[in-house]
Structure 1
Amino acid sequence: MTTGGRRASGENVPDRTQSFGEEVLGTLLDRAHVLPPHRIGPIVADAVGKLGGRDISVLLQDYGQWLLVPLRSDGLVAGDPQSIDESHAGQAFLDTRPVEVSLADGVRVHVPLLDGGDQVGVMSVTLERVDDDARRLLRRIACVVADLLVTKHGYTDLFFLSRRREPMSVAAEIQWSLLPPLAMIMPRVAVAGVLEPAYDVAGDSFDYALNDDMLHVAMIDAMGHGLSAAVMATVAIGAYRHARRSSISLSEIYFFMDRAVADQFGPDHFVTAQMMRLDTATGRLRWVNAGHPAPLLIRGDQVVSRLDSPTTLPVGFGGEKPVISERTLKPGDRILCFTDGLIEQHEPGEQPFGEHQLIDWVNRVASVRTSPRAMSRSLSHALRDARGGRTTDDATILLIEWLGSSETDPTAP
């Protein structure tokens, strides 16, 4: 027999009764594992409705990274797409923090949907008033919603169709299915990438994995355009992942990728590639370059150097054993990897866009210190505008930031 949470003997007993917050979140979790994707709207509306919330929207980023697009589902308000750069929801998305806006009849709260450090989208809801309890519960509901969107995405087209704002080529379909999340933000390291043109990309791709303290990164550019380039990129990334998961050296990874491309496509086909490993505990960066443009090192608010290194032949050409280059980063350093379509864009008879212009624009964008996700997106859009909106080749960027290792880091032992 217990009295007031304590046994008659005096032994403490945890209070296992269900609180209001647990009831709200528990209902979401209990129903989530058997929930069809198209029924996300009703259970989200039900959970938020218990807090007194109304006019609920779930907004997903479009593939071009310009808009937040409403998910169409029962229980959710559809409305028009919202500009990421010019809306309160976009501010919450870019800053990864809730934004509250006073209305005549309440408060509109925009909460980022975060999953593994990636911004999935934004949940927007109107409440009559907002206090710390409501903020806490909304934040936790948003975490569950983000996880639902990510886990259900694997077996539905619903979210893909919501995010697509233009017709997409078959090559682009292949590339998007191949990619990891566009961003990952962890206590020690952050990664963010942008593919352009989003709806017609073909030969560009990237991949990454955080295994214990080691961040593994690859960026590739397969020759050619269209479907053939996408297929070659798929083989190259597949070979990279297989080799990486075999725990072999960077040099051996190059040879494995080289053989895979040569065996499948013959001696006249190639993929430029860059493979990196960053020890997130120490900042030690090691990389090999196979005919790819040298990355840029950004320190503070400007480019301080190129990561020049000896290069071997592109993947598929049977190059010599690549030299492994090394550099130790400082906390806050950012590495910008890019494909040659970014600097070689030009009209007939004109000069290419060039690396000097690229560096100028990187310095301008980096002067406003933002998250890697916001910076990569801003830089991609700024470069597109600087090229007059023209993209005759894939133009992909990948930004890596080493945040440093700290005793307060939750990943530290």
Structure 2
Amino acid sequence: MDEESVDRSEGFGERLLGVLLDRARLVPPQLIAPLIAEEVAGIGGRDVSILLQDYAQELLVPLAGRNLHMGQPQPVGDSPAGRAFLRAHVVEVPQAHGGVRMYLPLLDGSDQVGVMALTLDAVGDDDRRLLCRLAGLVADLLVTKSAYTDQFFQARRREPMSVSAEIQWALLPPLSMCVPQVEVAGILEPAYRVAGDSFDYALNDSILHAAVIDAMGHGLDAAVMATIAIGAYRHARRVFVSLEEKYAYMDDAVSREFGPDHFVTAQLMHLNIATGELALVNAGHPAPLLVRDGRVVRQLESATTLPVGFGGERPRIRQHMLQQGDRVLCYTDGIIEEHVGDGELYGEERLIRCVNRLGEQSSEGVRADLRRLSHTLKAERGGRTSDDATLFMIEWHGGAADHLAVLD
């Protein structure tokens, strides 16, 4: 194409997004949400709210700020804002006195940050396109600015948080990731008192690296042990590629720091997102469940290696082959070792029945389905979570994503 024929004129939508970007660079964190409200007003939007997910994944909580509409927190499970959040699509609600209330998911990559709500007199396709792009920019700005302030973290808290939980939440990657070939999601309970459970993942080229851990004990000791285990895992992941070396690095770090009387159980995985080949190391952890068409078909068994920190021998790796649409559900023992009303342990059989029962319902995506499973399990345990209880799910789709790098 001739350079002179390229149209570089600035359209209305580009000007709006460009002005927001230009101003946001120097705006302090507490003024980001008011700035967004001001820009939305420029296209006729009113009653702008920025709603962030609380740590327990139960409510969407409004941010306070000048020009922002401060309503009540919205339930994630049963509200227009919650539907937009869980399903990651725009929800439009006609208003009794005219206009349309729009709820736009705030997606940073594919991790749900929250929801932006606003009201327009009328909504057309141009409005939807511009606002969806604006919502993507808003999500990125909120995530970027959150590194410089506690305001957004404080808004998400609905009850006091322990120091150990503070450490664990700072340690976590985004709670979900979605690319065409694979999706992942994780959830921690109890959200405000979690200590020794954690998970981590990274997508490096065609390999999804994932780990779920459970450090022994409770409180700060467990949180510190989990931090060292995850730190060693990330270091090994960024230097080596083999599961054996990851295990060895974690084992050495935990044993050197804590001695022979402390340990961390772990699941370490490599998933080739192009082929569905799954390599698994089980270091004293409950075996993951393979979920196919909404039902548990089997445990993903592997030869159990000693927990991290015991100086175990070279771990044995088990290979599994996934089918497109398969889900791998990892969990920590706090899920199945909670005592229920009859005094018995909740147990793996009850977990499997719960997964199968929920699998009969229509899927709303990995993130929403895992949240529903976590909250259902908690209800079946009588609302009790005396030990950390973590769920982590992978759904494999396969295929390629190269076309996404080609501009239309």
Q: Same fold (TM over 0.5)?
A: yes
Secondary structure at the counterpart of residue 140 of structure 2: helix
Cross-structure match for 2:385: 391
Secondary structure at the counterpart of residue 389 of structure 1: coil
Secondary structure at the counterpart of residue 375 of structure 1: helix
Question: Distance in 2 between the 1:241 and 1:185 partners?
Answer: 21
Of 367, 372, 377 in structure 2, the residue corresponding to residue 373 of structure 1 is 367
Question: Distance in 1 between the 2:140 and 2:325 partners?
Answer: 29
Of 63, 66, 72 in structure 1, the residue corresponding to residue 58 of structure 2 is 66
Question: Distance in 2 between the 1:45 and 1:64 partners?
Answer: 27
Question: Distance in 2 between the 1:185 and 1:14 partners?
Answer: 34
CA positional deviation for 1:348: 9.7
Cross-structure match for 1:57: 49
Q: What is the TM-score of this pair, normalised by structure 2?
A: 0.96
Question: Distance in 1 between the 2:303 and 2:218 partners?
Answer: 27
1:9-408 matches, cutoff 5 A: 12-103=4-95, 104-346=97-339, 350-368=343-361, 369-406=363-400
Check 1:252–1:382 CA distance in 2 against 1; reply closer, same or farther (3 A cut): same
CA positional deviation for 1:231: 0.5
CA positional deviation for 1:17: 2.0
Provide, for residues 8-42 of structure 1, a one-character-per-residue CA deviation record: whole Å limited to 9, x for no partner. xx985222222111111110111122221101122
Q: Which has the larger radius of gyration?
A: 1
Give runs of ≥4 in structure 1 deviating > 6 Å: none
For the Cα contact (< 8 Å) 1:187–1:410, is it kept in 2? no
For the Cα contact (< 8 Å) 1:113–1:119, is it kept in 2? yes
CA positional deviation for 1:278: 0.6
Instruction: Give the letter aligned to residue 297 of structure 1.
Output: L
Question: Distance in 2 between the 1:186 and 1:400 partners?
Answer: 12
Question: Distance in 2 between the 1:411 and 1:342 partners?
Answer: 40
Question: Distance in 1 between the 2:342 and 2:123 partners?
Answer: 60
Question: Distance in 1 between the 2:70 and 2:332 partners?
Answer: 37
More moved, 39-48 vs 352-361 = 39-48
Provide, for residues 225-274 of structure 1, a one-character-per-residue CA deviation record: whole Å limited to 9, x for no partner. 01100000000000000011112410111111111000000100000011
Provide, for residues 257-301 of structure 1, a one-character-per-residue CA deviation record: whole Å limited to 9, x for no partner. 111000000100000011101111111111101000000000111
CA positional deviation for 1:343: 0.1
Provide, for residues 157-214 of structure 1, a one-character-per-residue CA deviation record: whole Å limited to 9, x for no partner. 0100000000000000000000001111111111100000000000000000011111
Question: Distance in 1 between the 2:352 and 2:281 partners?
Answer: 22
Provide, for residues 324-346 of structure 1, a one-character-per-residue CA deviation record: whole Å limited to 9, x for no partner. 11111111110000000100001
More moved, 118-127 vs 322-331 = 322-331
Check 1:374–1:283 CA distance in 2 against 1; reply closer, same or farther (3 A cut): same
Provide, for residues 354-388 of structure 1, a one-character-per-residue CA deviation record: whole Å limited to 9, x for no partner. 00000011112222222110011000000000000
RMSD: 1.5
Secondary structure at the counterpart of residue 195 of structure 1: strand
Secondary structure at the counterpart of residue 395 of structure 2: strand
Question: Distance in 2 between the 1:276 and 1:285 partners?
Answer: 7
CA positional deviation for 1:153: 1.1
Question: Distance in 2 between the 1:11 and 1:134 partners?
Answer: 31
Provide, for residues 142-165 of structure 1, a one-character-per-residue CA deviation record: whole Å limited to 9, x for no partner. 001000011111121010000000
Question: Distance in 2 between the 1:286 and 1:11 partners?
Answer: 50
For the Cα contact (< 8 Å) 2:180–2:400, is it kept in 1? no
CA positional deviation for 1:347: 5.9
Question: Distance in 1 between the 2:199 and 2:9 partners?
Answer: 48
More moved, 120-129 vs 37-46 = 37-46
Question: Distance in 2 between the 1:189 and 1:231 partners?
Answer: 31
More moved, 339-348 vs 52-61 = 339-348
For the Cα contact (< 8 Å) 1:188–1:409, is it kept in 2? no
- Count of aligned pairs: 403
Question: Distance in 2 between the 1:50 and 1:389 partners?
Answer: 46
Question: Distance in 2 between the 1:402 and 1:392 partners?
Answer: 32
Check 1:268–1:76 CA distance in 2 against 1; reply closer, same or farther (3 A cut): same
For the Cα contact (< 8 Å) 1:123–1:142, is it kept in 2? yes
CA positional deviation for 1:318: 1.1
Any unmatched runs of 5+ in structure 2? none
Secondary structure at the counterpart of residue 171 of structure 1: helix
Q: Identity of aligned pairs, percent?
A: 61
